[in-house]
A and B are shown apart, each in its own frame.
Chain A
């Protein structure tokens, strides 16, 4: 069975600092990988996705993620965080041929002005 682990429940960074949110997946083959962001009281917005090919994926709002097969990781990064990035971030995986998404438990990001 697939599983997604986000080791950090809550991260606090200063505005302008760099950010890395960790995600590890467990799956026999290379899954499809996603990062979603959720602002308080809002739905889920897709930041970026990895299906195949280039392991460095660019997304919206200045985010990027790197797929590392050897580490079973898909970490999300941003070089300079803005106060508006404060939200909860979810990593998710989907097996090839599967319709279902398996989510991590989320990482809440707080940004200090």
Chain B
């Protein structure tokens, strides 16, 4: 049981480049989400999904795109990277919204230069 798997763990991008952060979970969780973590800001929700084909915006969605074609995968796309998107990104999943624990991936460290 791998839990929540994120790739890559580290990435350096040039301004304007695009990339996709991958997230996969093998726990058959309906809910998946992406957070970004910045110093002194805690974690802030970017996008989330409550099931295949259903996504919605969180607190800081600008500059990011998501899709959910399967229950297992929830990729996060940066369309045109900006230095302000330098951050640590965490993918998370949970079975339901009935108080289940939310499980986090190991994080992806992204630097935009």
- Are these two chains actual partners, yes or no? yes
Name A's B-contacting residues (CB within 8 A).
4, 9, 32, 34, 36, 42-44, 46, 49, 51-52, 90, 92, 94, 96-101, 103-106
B interface majority secondary structure = strand
A interface majority secondary structure = loop
Name B's A-contacting residues (CB within 8 A).
31, 33, 35, 40-45, 48, 50, 58, 90, 92, 94, 97-99, 101-107
Nearest residue (CB) in A for B93 is A99
Contact of B104 (CB < 8 Å), options: A44, A104, A105: A44
Determine if A43 and B41 form an interchain contact, defined as CB atoms under 8 angstroms apart: no
Docked pose: A103 CA to B60 CA in angstroms = 14
Q: Which residues of A contact B44 (CB under 8 A)?
A: 103
Determine if A51 and B99 form an interchain contact, defined as CB atoms under 8 angstroms apart: yes
Determine if B99 and A96 form an interchain contact, defined as CB atoms under 8 angstroms apart: yes
Docked pose: A100 CA to B35 CA in angstroms = 10
Q: Which residues of A contact B94 (CB under 8 A)?
A: 99
Complex A-B: 17 CB contacts under 8 Å: A4-B42, A9-B40, A43-B107, A44-B90, A46-B101, A46-B103, A49-B101, A90-B43, A92-B43, A99-B33, A99-B97, A100-B58, A103-B35, A103-B44, A105-B40, A105-B41, A106-B40
